[in-house]
Amino acid sequence: MRRVVITGIGALTPIGNTYPEYKNGLRQGMSGAGPITRFDASLFKVRFACELKNFDVEQFIPKKEARRLDPFAQYALVVADEAMIMSGLDVDTIDLDRAGVVWGSGIGGFETMEHDITEAALWHGEPRYSPFLIPKLISDIAPGHISIKYGFRGINYATVSACASSTHAIIASFDYIRMGRADIMMTGGSEAAITKASVGGFASMKAMSERNSEPLTASRPFDKDRDGFVLGEGGGALILEEMEHALKRGATIYGEVIGAGMTADAYHMTAPHPEGIGARNVMNLALKDAGIVAADVDYVNVHGTSTPLGDVAETKAILSVFGESAYKLNISSTKSMTGHLLGGAGAIEAIAGVIAINEGFIPPTINHFTDDPDFDPKLNFTFNEAQERKPDVILSNTFGFGGHNASVIIRRFKA
């Protein structure tokens, strides 16, 4: 099958609004958490999140157009534009029928659903709904808008698999190119779920940290006192391209996607399998697909949500898959810095792996204070500070409610 390379990247995260800013935030071990400003959260159990900082959509999208887009779609357009610029693609010189978009979002237009539907429900008399209600809230509108903007007439749809959504989007795009159905794919994911209903819903599940007095250090993957994830927002985009197509136009190549896996836990609505069976299987499938062995992997960007059950299950899976080579790995959870972007998580975490390859450092797992006896002390979780290392092969995991598991493997490019 054809080889697939990465030629463009865009990032909009709670620790940086561009790819270079995100890269710097990861190196510095920055926390993106703070008190919620999007709404009055004073009566909520959880009153903090990882919001975007100093982001003004009108710097990227005209005000009238932006009003017709839910924030998740705004974020998608912003990161897609950065990726296009970085890639150097010229839409006048490529076959637009062989350029497509697959985009992931776990929820889609959550703010639109919450605001517009509530407003209509409170209307006394004839209900009045915005004509933009439906096109603002549907998840597939993001890839639709991207394709319209750049004229990509190839494959176009959305993936929805909770927190695995954007990794599934990346995998689908990878498959289409290597099978010859496309030459260029814009892929990734975005989420804008810091709303009353979302925060209230996740809090009622006891899924989120309740460290309201210390939000900066609330996301604590693999720490003994972890108590749940911190909600984040934003998105990430990658341009995947068939290798010969990229080389022919002289593109800069940032990495090569070499393998992927997808499985289901088939166990529980929200909890992972306690022995990490689905996580184990998905990593093994990704390794087999890539044609490599576990010892070839240098860095695993784990799902690592900072939940009591999830972190243990994923670590058991890593030990099962990697055996003795697990102790040579760097492992880290960048959610400790960005929070959990839900459907957008896989995109920005795959990008973190690409950054590790190109910049020669492993992003840290910050906010580690107390060792947990449930974790093997010989494992290197890259606690608190970035570590200098030039990984050749990285593996990125994302797991979603419903038992969805997805892993993608990216390698340093060698022609």
Which of 115, 145, 340, 404 is catalytic? The answer is 340
Residue in 224, 388, 236 with CA at minimum distance from that of residue 306: 224
Residue 17 has which token pair? 């609004």
Catalytic residue (choose from 50, 145, 163, 245): 163
Tell me which residue has tokens 């995260």: 13
Query: Two tokens at 58?
Result: 């009108």
- 342: which DSSP letter? G
Catalytic-residue membership of 268: no
Instruction: Count CB atoms within 10 A of the CB of residue 300.
Output: 27
Nearest to 166 by CA among 364, 324, 323, 400: 400
404 is catalytic: no
What secondary structure, in 3-state letters, does 218-269 show?
CCCCCCCCCCCECEECEEEEEEEEEHHHHHHCCCCCCEEEEEEEEEECCCCC
- Beta carbons within 8 Å of 51's beta carbon, 6+ residues apart: 14, 32, 34, 36, 37, 38, 194, 232, 233
SS3 387: strand
Contact yes or no for 63/74 (Cβ under 8 A)? no
Active site residue: 168, 245, 303, 404, which one?
303
Annotated catalytic residues are 163, 303, 340
